[in-house]
Structure formats: C-alpha cells, structure tokens
C-alpha cells in the first residue's frame, strides 16, 4: 500500500506542475493577446504576440505531421 501512496503523491505533484506551467503559458501568451485586443500593444508587444502565434502554428504543424506518421505506422503494421 505504501507504493500506491507514493504513486498518488507523484501524480498530485505532476498535476500541480502542469497547472503552474499552464498558468505561465496563459500569462506569456494570453495577457499580450488581451492587451493587443484592447489596443495597448506597442512594438515589442506586437513582436511577442507575433512570435507566440508563430510558435502555436509551428506546434500545430508538428502535431499534424506526428499524427500522420502514427497513422501510417498503424496502417503498415
């Protein structure tokens, strides 16, 4: 039973770390987007928003390519 308690504690720690990372992402991406929508964006803020949007686009493309590769592997298996 002691091993189960340790695993539960580890999953709780991972959940907390995930929440902290999500909060940091929201602060890094969401706040500049809201400010840009409000018309407060300056030059550097606009650059950061463009960079965040580009990063999201790259992540989506990589995820789609990965899914295509996984499907091809599953079909050929």
Give the whole-number percent of the chain exceeding pLDDT 70.
Answer: 74
* pTM recorded for the entire structure: 0.43
How many structural domains compose the chain?
Answer: 1
Q: Which domain, by its residues, includes 43?
A: 2-76
Contacts for 32 with CB less than 8 Å, ≥ 6 apart:
41, 45, 48, 49, 52
CA-derived radius of gyration, the chain: 19
Task: Tell me the C-alpha to C-alpha distance, in Å, between residue 20 and each of 17, 25, 48.
Answer: 5, 9, 21
pLDDT of residue 33 exceeding 80, the answer is: no
| pLDDT tens readout for residues 35-72 | 767 765 566 667 777 888 889 899 989 999 999 998 88
Whether 36 and 49 have beta carbons less than 8 Å apart is answered as yes
Structure tokens belonging to residue 17:
């770390």
Structure tokens belonging to residue 18:
């995930």
């Amino acid at each position: 039973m002691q091993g189960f308690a340790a695993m539960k504690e580890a999953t709780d720690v991972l959940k907390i770390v995930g929440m902290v990372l999500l909060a940091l992402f929201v602060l890094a991406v969401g706040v500049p987007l809201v400010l840009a929508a409000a018309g407060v964006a300056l030059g550097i803020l606009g650059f950061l928003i463009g960079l965040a949007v580009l990063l999201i686009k790259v992540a989506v493309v990589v995820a789609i390519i990965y899914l295509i590769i996984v499907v091809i592997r599953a079909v050929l298996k």
